[in-house]
Each structure stands twice: as structure tokens, then as C-alpha cells.
Amino acid sequence: MEDVISLRGMPRWYVTLFFSDALERFGFYGLQAILVLYASAPESLGGLGLPTMDAASLFGAWIGFMFVLSLAGGWVGDRVLGNRRALMVGCLVSAAGYLCLTVSSGWAAAVGLVLLAVGGAVFKPNHQTMINRMFGGSAARETGISLMYVATQVSALLAPLVVGYLGERVSWALAFAVAATVMVLTGVQLGLTSGQFGGVGDRPVHPLTPAQRRSATRRTGFAAAVAVALIVLGLNGFLGARTTIMLVGILTVLTPIVCYVLLYRNAALGDGDRRRLRAYLVVCLAAALFWMVIAHAASLLNLFARDHVDRQVFGMVIPASWLQAATPVFILALAPVIAFVLPAVSGRHHVAVQLATGLLLVGSGFLVMSVAAELAGSGAKISPLWLVVVYLTHASGEVIVAAVTISAAAEILPPGFMGRTLGMLWLFAGLGGGLGSGVVRLADVVPEPVYYLGLGSVAALCGLVLFAGRGALTRGLTVVPEMKVDHR
């Protein structure tokens, strides 16, 4: 494949994948910006009318569920549909999910969120696969992936401004309809440009054998039966929002544990592989804690912006969701600086030091948030700069943690296990969302300042422990060459 040397010199297939990713992320970040606001809005205003804590826990449960499904989504592309066709299916399923959310009904919303989780789980891993397959061994791959990261942040910046404004000021249904339209257009774009890919992704890389196809059909039928049973229970009042969120949270906690144990017991792994995998579990758990804290931006912090922040700017009251645009702005500004500075100061213990730095950043952000919540407790509206500072710590930590966890995954196990190692990392990110959907309910039990103080202290303390144990973690992750015996 031809190299990508600049934006102007990008091949046509790359332009297609570039914009399809940016458009798909537009819907995702739009949903992140308004889901908790929509779920907690009164039914008379087109919302779901959920209690505040149910609405706050919804996003964590949903994103955890999507991450859990991502392994299956990648499998569908590799073994059943082909990666490019899976992209189109993901777009159309997501579009159907957004359309369901335009209907002001609890079970329409539940079905819509399930469809969105399935659509995102099918689209994202197969998009990453298509990028890698089209680039092959090209030296331009790293540049291309970096450019897409920029596009993702631009979508994260624009989505809250557009979708947030439409949802909060015009109509929730219109906001979701716009997201659905964008997803349909993305699918159409992928269909019309299929010739650019030279047949790559049109067929599964490793098609199922007849026996595997029968087994997959049985499992799919079982999953469909369970889904139908849950819908019937819900329609008859036996399965409310709180119970559903709890069940999803349990699923997102159990799945990464099971997958880790299965990977650890794989007969193809040696003692050194398992030693590194044990050390990498520390990385995964630290990442889960980090993403659990980050997920609060779409839940409690969004509600805090709505209820306690003075959002009047130049005589206009801005939507609460607009404050979430601060994170991508900071990421775009800080990513080049952090990428240049951090490796120089991390040294050979870079994994532990960078993870510790990320946790210390988000922990300190929540300590700031504790002060902000205390000030807001008197009933007075506080400056949006408090939240902006918190989002600055989130953005800085995200740039650091996302890069170091993915980079570390490449060196833990033999090359044939890289996909499974990265998949396990996704599952632990989902674990963060699942745990967050339960932990966030503590804010309804303890005073909000105490909640932020407690969670921030835990994150910061874990960061300090990681830093103190940086040598042990580095030794655990290091590949030790096997001793060669001279038989002469």
C-alpha cells in the first residue's frame, strides 16, 4: 500500500477510513455528552425521568457493556462478515440504536442503547483491523494512526457543541436523529467507496468451518432467546432500569476476570509469559481504576455542571454538555508536549511511572472536585473554571495512560497473542465502566465532597504505590532471555 506522508498525500482508502472513524466517533461523543442529561430529564420534557443515581450509573454500565462486546465484534469481522462489511453493519446497527432513542420510552431507549453497544463493538475493532491490513508493514502506519487520533479529538470537541445544544435546547429526539443521520451517511460512504479497498475486508480472514458455523448459530440463538426473555420481563414490569444496570455491571466485572484466567491457563504460554502476564494484570487494574474515574465526566460531572455551575458566558447560558468539549481541546494541545517530555523523564521504569502519573493526575482532579462540591453545597453557583481544571487533569492523564497501556501490551506475550492481550485490555477498560456504574451510587449515600475526596484519594494512593513499586513492575514486565545450554 502507498505511504501516507501528509494530509494532502493520503491515499483514497485512508480518506474513507479517516472520515468514517471521525463520523462514528461524533455519534459516540454526542451520546456521551447528553445521555445522563436525557436519562434524568423529566418525561414531560422528552427525557426518561430516571432517578439521578440511576441516570448517573447508566453511562458507565453502557460503555462497559460495549467494551465487553468488542471481542465478539472483532470475531464477527474476522470470521463471519469480513472487516469492511462489519464496518457497514456497525454503522447501520448504531443508526437503528439512535433512532430508537428518538422515541421517548424506557424500553425503546433500552433497546436503542443495546443496539448502540453492539454497533460500536462491531465498528471499532474492525476499523482498527482495516487500518492495519491496508497499511500492512508500511512505515506510514504510525503517522496514519496519529492523524486519526487527531480526528477523534476533533469529533469529541464538535459533538458536545452540536448534539449537546440540540438535546438541551431544542429536542432530545432531534439530537439523536442527527446522530442517526450521520451514522447512515457513514455506512453509505463505506458502501460507495468499497472499490478503494481492493477486496480487503470483503470476506472473513478465517472463515468458519461448517461445524464452527453450527456452533456459532446455536450460541447466537441462545443469546437471542435470553435477550427476548429480558425484553418480556421488562415489558411486564419485572426488570426495571436499576436492575438492568446492575446486571450489566456484574457482566462487565466478571467477563475480564474469566478472560484473564483463560488466557493465563493457555497451554502455549511458558513460565516467563505467565510471569509477565501477572505483572500486566497490575497495569490492567490500574487502567480500570483510571477509566472508572474518567467515566465520571459523562455522569456525575455532567450533572454537576447542569445543577451547580454558573454557565452564563457573555450574557448567554451555555448548555451543560458544552463543558465536556474542554477535554479534547486540552488533549489536542497537550498531546505533542507530553509525547515529547514524558519519555525523557520516565526512564526505564516508564510503564509504572506513566501509569502512576496518570492516576495521580485524575486523583488530584477529584481532590479539586471535592473542594468545588463543598463550595457548591451552599447553593451558590460556582465558576466553570473548577470543572475546566478537573478536565485538564483528565486530558493529561488520558494522553499518558492510553499510550502506555497499549504500548506495554505489545511486549507481554508472543506475537500471536497480541490481539488477545489488547482485547483483554479493552475488557478491563470495560471493568472500569462496570465498577463505576456501581461506585457512583455512593454519591447518593455520602456527601458529594466526601465522595470525590474518597475516590480521588484512592486513585492518588494507587498512583503512589505504583511509583514506589516501579522497579518490581518493570522486572515483572521485562522479557528475560532464556539461558542457552552448551551441549558440546
| Confidence category of residue 138, pLDDT binned at 50, 70, 90 | low
Mean pLDDT of 406-435: 83
**Which residues are CB-neighbours of 11 under 8 A, at least 6 positions away?**
1, 2, 4, 196
What are the pLDDT digits (tens) for 335-345? 888 777 776 76
What are the pLDDT digits (tens) for 10-69? 788 988 999 999 999 999 999 999 999 999 999 998 999 999 999 999 998 999 999 989
Residue of 413 and 300 predicted with greater confidence? 300
The angle at the Cα of 217, spanning 124 to 115, to the nearest 5 degrees, equals 35
| Confidence category of residue 113, pLDDT binned at 50, 70, 90 | very high
Buried b (16+ CB within 10 A) or exposed e, 194-204: bebbeebbeeb
Matching CATH number, 11-198, of 1.20.1250.20, 3.30.2130.10, 1.10.1450.10, 1.10.3720.10: 1.20.1250.20
436523529: which residue's cell? 177
Structure confidence at residue 9 (pLDDT): 66
CATH of domain 268-478: 1.20.1250.20
CA dihedral 118, 295, 21, 10 (to 10 degrees): -150
What are the pLDDT digits (tens) for 75-102? 898 888 999 999 999 999 999 999 999 9
pLDDT at 226 over 60: yes
**11-198 and 268-478, same CATH topology:** yes
User: Of 133-137, 231-235, 447-451, where does mean pLDDT reach its minimum?
Assistant: 231-235
Structure confidence at residue 376 (pLDDT): 94
Greatest mean pLDDT among 87-96, 131-140, 150-159, 189-198: 87-96
What are the pLDDT digits (tens) for 262-278? 999 988 899 999 999 99
Break the chain into its structural domains and give their ranges.
11-198, 268-478
pLDDT at 488 over 50: no
Structure confidence at residue 150 (pLDDT): 83
What is the overall mean pLDDT for the chain? Answer: 88
User: Of 145-149, 170-174, 401-405, 450-454, where does mean pLDDT reach its minimum?
Assistant: 145-149
- Three-state SS for 89? helix
Structure confidence at residue 137 (pLDDT): 64
| Confidence category of residue 484, pLDDT binned at 50, 70, 90 | very low
What are the pLDDT digits (tens) for 298-339? 999 999 999 999 999 888 899 999 999 999 999 999 888 877
Q: What are the φ/ψ torsions at residue 4 (nearest 5 degrees)?
A: -100, 115
pLDDT at 235 over 70: no
For the chain, give the percent of residues with pLDDT over 70: 94
